[in-house]
Amino acid sequence: MANAERGEVDLVVGDKTYTLFLSTNALCELQNRTKKTYGQVIRDLRTLDMSDYRELVWAVLKKYHRKAFTTVEQVGELIDDAKPRAVMDALVQLFKLAQPPAEETETGGAVRPPEDDGPSDGTGANSIETADDSA
């Protein structure tokens, strides 16, 4: 059974339940197989790239169901049995769980790199070196 606190989602297909999880290793495998970044695969889902869709589903099944799905064609059959819309709904739920809650970020949900305040001599507020040390 999926644990939402760990970022897991259940996909029920007939009398079987599959636990989906976005594992780092599976996503790296996905990138190697598709020769695309994870972000590119997600963007391609909007254009209904079914090969990437099937590869992504395979990736999220790998942590708990690697032995049950040894080929991408088996994953395609699972998608057909579950109905593509139900699988997509589970993926959307999985993506939502993977996002940090808005109240945990300073910017209200969007994590951004720090502002660039121009060139630094390495003696700023966050530096472990002081101006006297560098002289």
Beta-bridge partners for 12: 17
Q: What are the structure tokens assigned to 38, written together?
A: 């994870």
- 42-97 pLDDT, tens digit per residue, is 898 889 899 999 999 999 999 999 999 999 999 999 999 999 999 999 999 998 88
What integer pLDDT is reported at residue 111 of this predicted model?
52
**Residue 102 neighbours by CB under 8 Å, 6+ apart:** 108, 109
Dihedral sign (CA 123, 124, 129, 131)? positive
Q: What is the pLDDT of residue 33?
A: 93
Chain-centre distance for alpha carbon 100: 12
Nearest residue to 54 via CA among 19, 29, 87, 17: 87
Q: How many CA atoms lie within 13 A of 71 on its CB side?
A: 4
Quick: pLDDT tens for 99-114: 766 655 555 555 555 5
